[in-house]
A and B are shown apart, each in its own frame.
Chain A
């Protein structure tokens, strides 16, 4: 079984990202025009220079026409793809492989989601016609299953765990407050987070990512061409993706304190990138903090913290913006917002800014390797994406 990777063969030479939030005045087509235009400009190219497109959206449109019509693309290939909440990262991965193969010279990965038009609370995913036995659990409920299982396994009591989860939300809000494009740009006191109304299990409103509209885009080319477009491109070190067999849904061996899909995809990514000790070598990460317990468990699955200790690292501030290994310096899904198809690209957008020293007041000092992690599904049954990038 090979996963050879394309280390240092593909570069990102331009990116764009709309503010995330409630865009009552913009449809998905407007958001696509905004992020694509910014990405073209960032790469210093005219639209016609891009040979092919990968469009990620979970449910805000169908087919490549959604993009080609919005941008009035002149008969270019546009692939529309979907991989649940990891959709945006899938656009990057497929676009990167296409330029690496030599089939195209310059490509765009773009993602978009328009969630706020539904009028519903939280995320709504429609199912194909079915037998009526599918769970009607909401996303926060599915991820809240991690909390009691983690607490029991590692002997953390409920109050302690609540503090740990609140600390994650507090940190991501603090980071988001420094980000002009984030949906929520306000620090929130720990006390307010702890007292917020319950949504599911131990999770309150502040433990949940922002439901939002937004779009982000990246322009990619082969590494040798990168300097034609950008003085300081960033380079892909690893791209990994794992879709699980849903083992946790069937097997009693799965204990809801880990995502095996994340373990598999991060190991693969570290191998591709030659990372031996992620806790020491990864300068910063944008991870899929859809709900606070997810971020906690991810720290262990990705090897940032030994098993059973991430909760202590969280309380110690290890992953704070000013900490030794910042996680979600842009505010994450929690604070930047989570327009599904755009989120993976938004994570990469933060890498783009940080590695180029353009992150303003939240700039991390001299990052070398950055990691993005994007997850779709739920504990027990999910897809996981991990990328590693460097300057």
Chain B
């Protein structure tokens, strides 16, 4: 078994650590309209492109959108996957993204392919290291049979350790972390032992590894590992600390995705993830590695950015800093029956096309606006259809965490039109004729209900 496809996602905004008085580099910041679920969907769209069949969806995060209500189901719906699949949610530790991948590989071994998504929105107390060193991002893998794999499993090993390292009560917003020297010294032996076990199982000499990914709650705990097993510095993968920050449950997977982006057939990759224990996985890139690259590689996401986000905006987006709302009514929560009736429209961006005259309709209609044919529509997904701005406006009056609201009347290639909000966009750069692509977002949260829908963004 192995990894069949993968995709990654890093949000558009970067917060400079200098703006926090926290050293060099920058961290990735999810926009005000993103959360762990919407970012997972963005990564998974790439992994599941072309209609890959999966038997299960796994979603790992420490920042779930809902404490109760299955986030994996929203991901399933947004990807327009069939309802006849299993779903699993994993959380409680930043190791769960890696654990999800291992579980997905187990499912693959049992003959079931899985879509494994890991996504995190890492928020720390203002002024603390988690705020400055954390990052937001997502990754997704499809696991399956050996013969379909771009990277197959050579060996793996796990450990589980009960230790007070990083913790947070269910009702708390920000995690706490024990003093690092204790956890580093205590975890190091287990890390070494688990890695050795995985390498032995894989029958791989450390010196032959093309890339080694070390990720964990406490970098200090892994500091001695390279020397202990005889690794050269050039074998160690960039942890993306300076450009992205540690993206929680997504991070080991995100670094793996980047290693796969760069891998040649036969390359062996070791992934180690440490949090409440250790997971170690040894993979080998197959000859198929070059045949199905993701649409967007990790480095492309890293390069596509806006890095002038103000700290105040960041605090406002995360709900840490209260702010003066506009004199407009608060958004209304969406209602369950219409959301269910229109699920494929709302979550998968499925419109309709008239079978008689080919006119596209967003949202889907029963009666064709052009030829009047009744109930002669077929469903069409517009989520991956290229589109462009026909006319637009900047709405300074509408409610938003980031005014002005940019709205475009958007025309789709092949026919179809929709007025939708633009995001990840500089209002000054919007013009008639701009090319756009669709992105899955959380529009707002009202009375405890998240409202997910699609927006358009300039190409990334």
Contacts and interface: CB of A to CB of B under 8 A. Distances in A.
Nearest to B339: A131
Contacts of A365: none
B361 A250 contact: yes
A132 B329 contact: no
Interface stretch (B213-221, B269-277, B284-292, B404-412): B404-412
Interface string B211-236: 00000000000000000000000000
Interface string B97-137: 00000000000000000000000000000000000000000
Interface in A87-137: 119-122, 124, 126-127, 129-133, 135-137
26 contacts: A121-B326, A124-B329, A126-B329, A129-B338, A132-B346, A133-B363, A135-B420, A136-B421, A138-B397, A140-B395, A141-B395, A144-B393, A145-B391, A148-B392, A149-B391, A198-B396, A199-B397, A201-B394, A247-B369, A249-B417, A249-B418, A250-B360, A250-B362, A250-B416, A251-B359, A256-B409
Interface in B259-279: none
B369 A141 contact: no
A268 to B, nearest CB: 20
A131 B405 contact: no
Most B-side CB within 10 Å, residue of A124, A136, A201: A136
A132 B405 contact: no
B399 interface: yes
A135 B363 CA distance: 12
Contacts of B397: 121-122, 138, 140-141, 199-200
B328 interface: yes
B328 A256 contact: no
Contact of A122 (B328, B420, B421): B328
A140 B397 CA distance: 8
Q: Is the interface of A mostly helix, strand, loop or mixed?
A: loop
B194 interface: no
Closest 6 CB pairs of A and B: A132-B334, A129-B335, A141-B395, A201-B393, A132-B451, A131-B338
Contacts of B341: 131
B390 interface: yes
B332 A120 contact: no
Contacts of B366: none
B393 A251 contact: no
Contact of B338 (A126, A130, A145, A197): A130
B382 to A, nearest CB: 12
B316 interface: no
B13 interface: no
A141 B451 contact: no
A138 B327 CA distance: 12
B342 interface: yes
A136 B398 contact: yes
A72 B250 CA distance: 68
A245 interface: yes
A137 B406 CA distance: 9
A131 B345 contact: yes
A201 B405 CA distance: 10
Contacts of A121: 326-328, 397
Contacts of A131: 334-335, 338-339, 341-342, 345-346
B432 interface: yes
Interface in B306-359: 326-329, 331-335, 337-339, 341-342, 345-346, 359
A368 interface: no
B53 interface: no
Nearest to B338: A131
Interface string A234-266: 000000000001110111101110000000000
A250 B345 contact: no
Contact of B395 (A132, A137, A246): A137
A247 B409 CA distance: 13
A26 interface: no
A120 B326 CA distance: 8
Contact of A120 (B327, B365, B370): B327
Interface string B374-404: 0000000000000000111111111100001
A145 B417 CA distance: 14
Interface residues of A, number: 41
A195 interface: no
B159 interface: no
Contacts of B359: 250-251
A174 B55 CA distance: 70
A319 B214 CA distance: 73
B328 A133 contact: no
B396 A135 contact: no
A41 interface: no
B175 interface: no
Query: Which of B393, B404, B451 has most chain A Cβ within 10 Å?
Result: B393
Contacts of A132: 333-334, 339, 346, 443, 451-453
A148 B391 contact: yes
B419 A133 contact: no
A292 B417 CA distance: 25
Contact of B396 (A124, A136, A200, A249): A200
A129 B333 CA distance: 8
Contacts of B393: 137, 141-142, 144-145, 148, 200-201
B415 interface: yes
Contacts of B418: 249
B415 A252 contact: yes
Q: Output the residue of B327, B341, B392, B419 with the most chain A CB within 10 A.
A: B419
A77 B390 CA distance: 48
Contact of B398 (A127, A129, A137): A137
Contacts of B432: 148-149, 152
Contact of B399 (A136, A198, A247, A380): A136
Nearest to A130: B338
B66 to A, nearest CB: 15
B392 A133 contact: no
Contacts of B337: 129
Given A145-B391, A201-B394, 9 more contacts: A124-B328, A131-B339, A132-B346, A135-B419, A145-B393, A199-B397, A200-B404, A245-B369, A251-B417
A381 to B, nearest CB: 10
B279 to A, nearest CB: 38
Contacts of B451: 132
Given A120-B327, A131-B338, A138-B395, A145 B345 contact: no
Nearest to B419: A135
A256 B390 contact: yes
B71 to A, nearest CB: 17
A260 to B, nearest CB: 12
Contacts of A129: 334-335, 337-338
